Structure formats: structure tokens, C-alpha cells
A and B are shown apart, each in its own frame.
Chain A
Amino acid sequence: MNLLRYPLILRIASGLLLLLLLSGSPPLHAQALSEAQIKAGFLYNFAKYIEWPGEAFSSKDASFVMCLAGRDTLGASFDSIDGKTVHGHLVAVRRMGGGSEDFRGCHILFVSESEQRRVASIVRTGQAALLTVSDIDGFIDMGGGIGLLNADERVQFEVNLGALQRASLKASSQLLKLARNSSSMRGKN
């Protein structure tokens, strides 16, 4: 069989097929999750690696409240954190819808992309003991607490130390080390 006699397109196609066969079936540990799952996973981990002041909880049995403002982009993945425990508190998830401005009672606020135009006013409320997290572009530059960003087909996060300090939140050094902007925060640690 002389492959060269076939049109280029067939040659390319057969080459690709060959490559496919050589590469074999996808490895079992193909570790891909949906963006919503990864982001929900991050929210839970932020809760674990950040210390909230005692007065953020009305009692020992009070829930750790995770709120979502705007369009629900996390869906079932967000619900899956409901009922877990962090710092000895049960996690309760709450959806605030678009337009809401009262985030009292929330410990973490995930600001959905639909709230892009309100970001400035949301982060300005500067509520104590509230960690704001968002995947909106440049979120931490606008004063947000933690920004999630897609890079290299993965989700990464960056921390705004100043915002955390203003909200009386204490981030563990492990969290800061893994932040994308860890190098530029080094001076402050």
C-alpha cells in the first residue's frame, strides 16, 4: 500500500488514526472534572484553609454559610458541599439571586459572572468576616478576596491579602503558597 498515492487529506487522516491507536485508550486516571465541580471544590477548600474570627458565628452550632450571588453557575456541585463540616460548623449553601445586596450571615460569597457590573459595589460593602470569591476577570484587582481564573485548562486562584486582612480573615500559609500570585505576596508574609 503506497500511502503517498492517496490525497493529502487521506494521508493525514490515516496518520491521525495511527497516532490514535498508538496513544491507546485514555488512561483511567484521566483527571478531568467540570469547571463547576472544581470551583465548588475550591470554595470548600478556601473555607478549610482560612480562619474566620470567632464572632463570625453566633454560636458553636451555627452553620458556615456559603452564598452564591447571581446566576447559579455551580449547580449541583455547589449543593454537594452542603452538609460538610468546616472548623466544626456544618456548611449551609444559600443562593442569593441577582440584584441582592444584603450578604449578612454569609461567610463566603461566590459572585457569579452575571454580576460583573455590580462587582465594584458588592466588594465595596467590605463586610467583616466575609470572603468574596469570583471567577470574574480581575476580581481581586477590584477589591475582591479570592479570584478564580482559567489558565492552561486548569483553574487557579489568586489571593488579595489586603482584602482578607480588612475582612479580619486569616489565610493559612499553605493556601498562600499555592496561590498563583504567591511570589508577589512573598514580601508580605
Chain B
Amino acid sequence: MKNENLRNHDSTRGGATPRLRLVVCACLIVFGTSALAQDVAVLSLEDLLNTEVSTVSRKSQRLSETAAAVFVVTGDEIQRSGATSIPEALRMVPGVQVARMGNARWSVSARGFNGRFANKLLVLMDGRSIYSPLFSGVIWEQEDTLLEDIDRIEVIRGPGAAMWGANAVNGVINIITKRARATQGGMVSASAGNEDRAAAAVRWGGALDESTHYRVWAKGLRRDASDDQLNIDPNHSARAGFRLDKSLDGGARASLIGETYRVRAGDAWERPDVSAATLSTGFVTPMVVTAAHSGSNVVGRYDTVLGDGSELGLQAYFEHSRLDVPWAVSDSRDTADVDLQHRLHRGSHDFMWGMGYRVSRNQIHANTANFSLLRDRRLMRLFSAFAHDEWTLVPDRLRLIAGTKIEHNGSTGWEWQPNVRLAWTPSETRTVWGALSRAVRTPAQAEEDASLDLQIIPPSSTVPLSNLIRAKAPGKIERAEKVTSFDLGYREQLTSTLSLDIAAFAARYSDLRTGSLPEVGMAFVMTPRGPVPYLQTTTVTGPGLEASTRGVELAADWHPLEAWRLQAAYTYLYDHISDPLGAMREGGYQGKTPRHSASLRSSWNLARNWQFDGWLRRTGGLQGGEVAGYNELDLRLAWRPVRDLEVSLVGQNLLHRQHLEWIGDYVPTPQLAVERAWYIKAKLAF
């Protein structure tokens, strides 16, 4: 009925039926575009609602004026990439290094220093930090959400703008989910494949009243082991969550977002074993374990506009998480965090300040002889505050941004992290920016408390005894890791279909974590043949390394045709780690970042209801050639027989039967390669 009304309304004006006009329009798209613009006004509301968008403009255009190295991955791009996890989607981002270890583990970092326990990147999901205070990194196998609900992932490379939290040394990743209003109605999806064996998701969104919307969702995934014979790392996960958004009078908004999850991920640790070494049966005892992760969290956020027009945001979250690795460690943690932000516009100043307090308590047990902890309970408190002013010196042309964050933590005390930025926009389509910033990374609990057997050096003709290398807990680390970075960037919308973004940086690091000068002692191990002597080399974890990095990151976005989009990214990174003490540990930073990496994505709308996407990646070699450079290709074909149903076929890592991306670091693990994969997926909206 409603359609009839609108159509009639429209056709009284023009004569021809709207459908006919639409055909005319479509022909015009094919044969020329300038004439088309004149026909926009003849389209009825209903036609407009049903018209597909051919060129989705970059979701966050405002970011194009940001004085930082920013890249945004939109939800649509994640869908079209065929990615089934967040780290996979991050491969699109220039300056971010992603390596997969088999099917369950990831190394993700920005601007170098990558590793399974990479610790220089802050990751937030809807405002909640998913950075584990235990080892100051992200347990990627545990973090996920319904990918369809992700609105965008904003990635800021370089020391995070002053307002971001602690440990944003090399970058901040901000995962933002859609508002509940944007996910109304139902959605079910199911997929099956050779690696991601089976996955299913369901979501329902509804409205409680005009201003209150919600969604609830659940998702399950069964992923195969990367090597079927070894069968080390199958992983299964189940999670469910909700989001509730309410708009209140006067432009205030409130949101409540919650999630609960359970993940089981297989892993193998190669435990240095002295008795095995002395018996010459090998130097490691492989342990195949299944790590169990579970947790729940809830985030509440309230934003309002005060009487003077300034904006106030208040956020709080609570989180409980549990990690159990049989024969190794079990950890139970509770975190509470409150955060306040206030933003005022006064003339040419856009001033923002805020403060936050986080308290995190855990109980941890080490269940192995190779790994011990000084304290099995810890309470960590973190206070932070920031102030930040964006001063428009010349309207629409020149902005100066200056700010600092100060924070207080139990280990290193007060830390301050200032930055100053300048953005020049000579025209609406061009931005040149520069920044000088400093950031710190505060010590992780594991660095202060954990003693760990790292490896055994076998006896040789010069040293006839086995040598066990141990990292010893210092109890407290007095100095935080520091970085000072200089960044320069250039962004230009060259034509209406082509844009370019270049960032270059040089950074110096000091007090990076390493080990002290080693002390060598002798110890005995009891064996069936009696006590056998061996050497024990101990280094104490502490600050010591220096490093410098420099690099260039490039992103280009081109629409050669209305229906075809190409996105290219290239990263060059040079790193030099200097180790004045010559300690053997964490020289492990060396060779962990490819010198060159590149990616080319193509998204092509073959026809109204067909999409064909391709993604070619090149990653340079690592660890002095131990991990060879590789090229890989993903392809996706999607078909929409009707508007609400999408069927897609995705092939991942198609160029090789299997390829290696990473070898275990810190905790020795067997090498697990990434295999060629495919899956078929159906998604129905109702």
C-alpha cells in the first residue's frame, strides 16, 4: 500500500513510471555520467531505498584530516575480504604486521617488534582494552566478535595520540561495532570448509521503544588443526553477546555492550628438559596441551551534551577472564575500569581532557617445573589523565594539536607521554601533517614475576655439559620502555576516484626489555644413572636494549570503474636493535619484521547480485631467512539470488598447499604452517 502511494505521488509529476525512468538512469550510467546527475530528483523515496550504492565513500572521511597515520578497515571491506578472524582483516592495514602460526595463534604488531607476545600495540574493542596485563599483549585466539557487526576498525600507527591508554607504543587498534539500530531484524549465517570446518552465527535486533534498540547474537566456530597429522592446534570457540543503545533527551546516549565466550585452542610447547638432555634422548619434551580461555565482560557508556554545549562521556567496564593451560599455567583475572572525557569547543580551540582508573586483580598458578612465578596474586592499579588541545591557527588550513597523557602505575611510577602535531590542509583534498611524540610501555606482570626455562644448548667439544638458559624474574622493573617518534604524512584525493596516503617515520626506543649479563652456575639433575651435572645460565629480565626503526607506509584507493575498486598497500620497515650488554635474550626482536610487504585488493561488482573479490599479498622473509618470504592469494565470489540471501565461496592462501609465516618465539613451539583453505558460506537476513 505504502509503495502505491509514493509511486502515484511521483508519477503525477513526470508521466512515465519511475521504473522506466530508472532504466533510463541505468543506461546513462553506462554511457555517461554527467547527464545522470539531473535525474536524481525524479527518483522516488522507494526507488532510492532500493538503489544499490555503487561507490561507497570512505566511511570516516573526517579521518582524512587527522594528523596521524590512520587507516580504516570498514565492515564491508571485512566481509568482502573473506576474513574469518580479526587478525586476518588487519593484514589489509599498511604498517601492521600479521603472521599466523598454524590455525590457532597469531603474531600481530605495528611498526615492528612482532611476536606471539608482541607488546607494543594497544587494542580496544568498543572502548574496552583487550590488552592482557599478564604479558602486555593480546591473546588473539581468544578475541573475536560477530564480524558482521563490526562497523569499522580504526588503526592509528605510531605512538597513540595522547588520549589513548597506556602501552600504545607502536599503535592503537580500535574495533568499533555497529550501533544496535543498524542491526535490526534477524540474521543467520552458516559456513563449512576444509580448515574452518563449521561456523554458525545468529543475531536478532529489535526495538524496545522508539529510542531503545538492542541486538543479541551468538556464534560458534570449529577450526581444524593446521597439520592434520600432528593435530596440534584445533580450536573451537563459542561466544554470545548483546548490545543495547538508548537515546535520551537533549542528545544524550547510553549504551550497554556485553559478551561471554569460551575458547579451546590446542598448542604444543617444547619444554626444555635437562634430564632428557643428559640422557641424550633430546633436549625438549614436547607437550601438546589444550588451552582453555573463558570470560565475560560488560561495557557501559554514557555520552551527553552539557548546558554550555560541551560534551561529556563516561564509560565503565568490568571483565572476568580465565586461562587454563594444563601443565603450564592457570590464571583468573578481574578488571574494572572507569573513564571520563570532556570536550569543549571555544573559538578556535577544541579542547579535550579526561581521566581514567583501572584496577585489575588476578590469581595465577604455574603448574610446571620450567615456569615459576614470584607472586601468585597481584593487584594492579593504573591511574591516567590526559589533556589535549586542537588549535585552529588558520581556519580550514592549519591546525596545531598538542597534548599529554600522564599515568601512574605500581612499577615505574609516574610516566608522561606528550605529543605535538601540526596539520596543514592547503586544499580540501590535501593534508600534510607532522608529529613528534613519546610513549611508554609499562612492565607486564609476567616480565616482573615469571622465571622461565628458555632453551638447552647441547654439549659440545668445548663445553662438554648441557647448558640450560633461564630467564629469571626481577620482581620489579624500575624503568618503562620508551619510544620517541617523528612522523610525517601526506594525504591527497588526487581525483574523484583516486586517493593516496603516505606516512613516513623514524623512531628511537630505549630501555627495551632484555636480560642482564648472564651468570653461569652448575647444577645437578637426578637421572636413573645418578646425578648428572649441567650448566645453568641465568639472566635477569630488565631494561637494557636500544633500538631504532624507520619506515614508509603507503595506501592507495582507486575506483577505475563504478563497479571496480582497487586498494593497494605497501610497507617498508627497517629496524636495528642494539644490545650493549650482549645478553642473548630478546635479541629475539631481530629479524621479526619483514623489510617489505605489500597487498593488493580488488573488489568487483560483476553484476547487480554478484561480487568477485581478490586479495594478493606479499610478505618478505623473516629471521634471517628461516621463514621465507611468500606470496598469497585469497579469492571470494558472492552471489545474492535475492536481496536477503548471500552465498559466498572463499578460497584462502591459494598459491601454496602450505606456507610458513612464523616460528615460535619466547615459548618454544613447533613450526606450524598455514594451509590452503576454502569455505562456503550462506547468510540470510530476515
Given the complex, which residues of B lie within 8 Å of A27, measured CB to CB? 607-608
Contacts of A73 in B (CB 8 A): 57, 61
Q: Which residues on B sit within 8 Å (CB–CB) of A79?
A: 37
Query: Contact: B345 with A114, CB < 8 Å?
Result: no
In contact, A123 and B251 (Cβ under 8 angstroms) = yes
Q: Mark B147-171, 1 if CB is under 8 A from A, else 0.
A: 0000100000000000000000000
B43 CB-CB contact with A under 8 Å: yes
A42 interfacial contact with B, CB 8 Å: yes
Tell me, in angstroms, the Cα distance from A92 to B36 when the chains sit together: 19
Please pick, from B9, B65, B562, the residue contacting A114 in the complex, using a CB distance under 8 A.
B65
State whether B40 touches A138 (Cβ < 8 A): no
A72→B428 CA distance, assembly (Å): 9
Give chain A interface residues in 116-145, CB to chain B under 8 Å.
Answer: 116-118, 120-121, 123-124, 137-138, 140-143
B279 CB within 8 Å of chain A: no
A178 near B50 with CB under 8 A, answer: no
Number of cross-chain contacts by CB at 8 Å:
217
The reply to whether the CB of A28 lies closer than 8 angstroms to some CB of chain B is: yes
B55 engages A35 (CB within 8 Å): yes
Known: A26-B608, A36-B57. A188 touches B45 (CB 8 A): no
- Cα A23 to Cα B65 with chains together (Å): 42
CB distance from A159 to the nearest CB of B (A): 10
Residue A29 is within 8 A (CB to CB) of chain B in the complex: yes
Q: A29 and B22: CB pair below 8 A?
A: yes
- Asked if A151 contacts B23 (CB within 8 A), the reply is no
- Tell me whether A20 is interfacial, beta carbon within 8 Å: yes
| A71→B48 contact, CB < 8 A | no
Main DSSP-derived SS at the A contact region = helix
Query: Is A35 in contact with B56, judged by CB distance below 8 angstroms?
Result: yes
Across the interface, B654 reaches (CB within 8 A) one of A12, A45, A174, namely A12
User: Does B395 reach chain A (CB closer than 8 Å)?
Assistant: yes
Closest A residue by C-beta to B36: A37
Q: Tell me whether B633 and A9 are in contact (CB under 8 A).
A: yes
In the assembled complex, the Cα of A155 lies from the Cα of B651 at a distance in Å of 30
**B53 contacts across to A, CB distance below 8 A:** 32-35, 38, 150, 153-155
How would residues 40 to 82 of chain B score, 1 for a CB under 8 Å from any chain A CB and 0 otherwise? 1101111111111111110111100100000000001000000
**A184 contacts which of B76, B209, B563 (Cβ < 8 Å)?**
B209
**Contact A151 B182, beta carbon cutoff 8 Å:** yes
Q: Which residues of B contact A150 (CB under 8 A)?
A: 53, 56, 59, 76
A168 within 8 A of B: no
A57 contacts B by Cβ under 8 Å: no
The proximity string for A residues 143-184 relative to B, scoring 1 for CB distances below 8 Å and 0 otherwise, is 100000111111110100100000000000011011011011
Output the residue of B46, B207, B251 with the most chain A CB within 10 A: B251
Is A178 touching B182 in the complex (CB atoms < 8 A)?
no
The answer to whether A33 and B29 touch across the interface, beta carbons within 8 angstroms, is yes
* Minimum Cβ distance to chain B for residue A117 (Å): 7
Tell me, in angstroms, the Cα distance from A8 to B643 when the chains sit together.
31
The reply to whether B151 and A137 contact each other, CB–CB distance below 8 Å, is yes
Question: Bound complex: CA of A180 vs CA of B52, how far in Å?
Answer: 16
Q: Tell yes or no: B2 within 8 A of A by CB.
A: yes
Contact with A along B1-34 (1 / 0, CB 8 A): 0100110010000000000001101110100001
Interface centre among A33, A79, A143 (most CB of B within 10 A): A33
B 118-153 binary contact with A (CB < 8 Å = 1; else 0): 000000000000000000000000000000000100
Q: Are B49 and A29 in contact (CB under 8 A)?
A: no
A45 touching B44, Cβ below 8 Å: yes
Contacting B562 at CB < 8 Å: which of A23, A32, A121? A32
A40 near B: Cβ within 8 Å?
Answer: yes
Contacts of A149 in B (CB 8 A): 182
Query: B93 on the interface (CB 8 Å rule)?
Result: no
Say if the beta carbon of B406 comes within 8 Å of chain A: no
Question: Which residue of the partner chain B has the closest CB to A138?
Answer: B179
Contact (Cβ within 8 A) B309 A32: no
User: For the complex, is B238 an interface residue (Cβ under 8 Å from A)?
Assistant: no
Q: Is the CB of A178 within 8 A of B46?
A: yes
Q: Chain B at the A interface: mostly helix, strand, loop or mixed?
A: mixed
Checking B48, B207, B211, B496 against A38 with a beta-carbon cut-off of 8 angstroms, the contacting residue is: B48
| Contact indicator B247/A35 (Cβ below 8 Å) | no
Q: Does A31 sit within 8 A of B, measured CB to CB?
A: yes
Cβ of B396 under 8 Å from chain A: yes
B633 to chain A, nearest CB (A): 7
Interface residues of A in 67-81 (CB under 8 A from B): 71-73, 75-77, 79-81
Q: How far is the CA of A113 from the CA of B563 in the complex (A)?
A: 24
Q: Does A62 contact B (CB under 8 A)?
A: no
Contact status of A142 and B253, CB under 8 A, knowing A45-B48, A158-B181: yes
| Structural contact, A174 and B608, CB atoms closer than 8 A | no
**Chain B residues whose CB sits within 8 angstroms of the CB of A137 once the complex forms:** 151, 179
- Interface size for B (C-beta < 8 A) is 81
0 or 1 for each of B421-456: is its CB under 8 Å from A? (1 = yes): 000000010000000000000000000000000000
Is A187 positioned at the interface, with any CB of B under 8 Å from its CB? yes
Contact residues, A1-55 vs B (CB, 8 A) = 8-9, 12, 16, 19-20, 23-38, 40-42, 44-45, 48-49
B334 within 8 A of A: no
Q: Contacts of A114 on B, CB cut-off 8 Å?
A: 61-62, 65
Q: Does B250 contact A (CB under 8 A)?
A: yes
> Are A20 and B606 closer than 8 Å at their CB atoms?
yes
Asked if B630 is at the interface of the complex by the 8 Å CB criterion, the answer is no
User: Quick check: A33 and B6 within 8 Å, CB to CB?
Assistant: no
Are A32 and B608 in contact (CB-based, < 8 A)?
yes
User: Quick check: B345 and A184 within 8 Å, CB to CB?
Assistant: no
Which residue on chain B has the smallest CB distance to residue A141? B247
Residues of chain A with a CB closer than 8 A to B181's CB: 138, 141, 158, 180-181
Contacts of A44 in B (CB 8 A): 40-41
B490 contacts across to A, CB distance below 8 A: none
Asked whether B245 is an interface residue with its Cβ less than 8 Å from the other chain, the reply is yes
Judge whether A187 and B247 touch: CB under 8 Å: no
Q: Which residues of A sit under 8 angstroms from B5, Cβ to Cβ?
A: 174
Asked if residues A116 and B305 are in contact (CB atoms below 8 Å), the reply is no
Task: Say yes or no: A12-B48 contact (C-beta < 8 A), given A35-B57, A120-B305, A188-B210.
Answer: no
Asked if B210 contacts A23 (CB within 8 A), the reply is no
User: Which residues of B (643-678) have their CB < 8 Å from a CB of A?
Assistant: 643, 651, 654-655, 676
A48 to B350, CA, bound (A): 37
- Interface check A87, CB cutoff 8 A: no
Determine if A155 and B48 form an interchain contact, defined as CB atoms under 8 angstroms apart. Answer: yes
* Residue in A31, A138, A187 whose CB lies within 8 Å of B608: A31
Docked Cα-Cα span, A178 to B605, in Å, equals 27
For window 321-350 of B, CB contacts with A under 8 Å fall at 343, 345, 350
Query: Cβ of A105 < 8 Å from any Cβ of B?
Result: no
Q: Which residues of the partner chain A approach B305 to less than 8 Å between Cβ atoms?
A: 120-121, 124, 142-143
- In the assembled complex, 5 residue pairs joining A and B whose CB atoms fall closer than 8 Å, in A order, are A27-B608, A35-B57, A80-B40, A121-B309, A184-B213
Query: Which residues of A are interface residues toward B (Cβ below 8 A)?
Result: 8-9, 12, 16, 19-20, 23-38, 40-42, 44-45, 48-49, 71-73, 75-77, 79-81, 84, 97-99, 112-114, 116-118, 120-121, 123-124, 137-138, 140-143, 149-156, 158, 161, 174-175, 177-178, 180-181, 183-185, 187-188
Q: Given known contacts A32-B53, A71-B61, what 6 new A-B pairs fall within 8 Å (CB)? A: A12-B651, A31-B25, A37-B40, A38-B48, A174-B6, A187-B209
